C-alpha cells in the first residue's frame, strides 16, 4: 500500500519533484489536469509546484505532456545514485 515513504526512505528526504520554468510556462494547465496528486497549482506568472512531495518518485510523465517543455526533473542517473545513498542511510534506522 502506498505511504509517505519510498523504499524505506521518508518521502520528504527524496529530492524528486518537478521544476517549472516560469519563462517557458504558458499556463495552459495541461499538467494540472494530468497530475492526479495535486502537485501543481496555477500561480500568477506560471504554474507552480506547491506539493512537491505528492509527486510519485521516479515519475516524470507530466514532463512528457507539457506542450511547451517547461517542466524539468532531476537527471535520472544521478537520482539513482542519490537513492542508493539514501537507502543505505535509512536501512538500519
Which chain residues interact with other proteins by CB under 8 A?
Answer: 1-3, 6, 34, 36-37, 54, 56-59, 61, 64-65
Q: How far is the CB of 23 from other proteins (least distance, A)?
A: 25
Using the 8-state DSSP alphabet, how is residue 24 labeled?
T
Q: How far is the CB of 66 from other proteins (least distance, A)?
A: 12
Q: How far apart are CA 90 and CA 21, in angstroms?
A: 32
The angle subtended at Cα 64 by Cα 62 and Cα 70, nearest 5°, is: 75
Q: Cβ closer to other proteins: 50 or 65?
A: 65
Q: Cβ closer to other proteins: 61 or 68?
A: 61
The angle subtended at Cα 64 by Cα 60 and Cα 65, nearest 5°, is: 115
Q: Cβ closer to other proteins: 51 or 91?
A: 51
Amino acid at each position: 500500500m502506498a505511504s509517505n515513504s519510498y523504499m524505506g526512505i521518508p518521502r520528504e528526504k527524496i529530492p524528486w519533484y518537478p521544476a517549472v520554468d516560469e519563462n517557458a510556462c504558458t499556463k495552459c494547465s495541461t499538467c494540472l489536469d494530468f497530475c492526479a496528486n495535486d502537485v501543481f497549482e496555477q500561480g500568477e506568472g506560471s504554474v507552480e509546484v506547491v506539493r512537491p512531495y505528492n509527486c510519485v518518485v521516479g515519475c516524470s510523465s507530466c514532463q512528457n505532456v507539457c506542450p511547451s517543455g517547461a517542466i524539468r526533473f532531476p537527471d535520472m542517473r544521478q537520482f539513482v545514485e542519490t537513492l542508493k545513498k539514501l537507502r543505505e542511510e535509512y536501512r538500519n534506522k
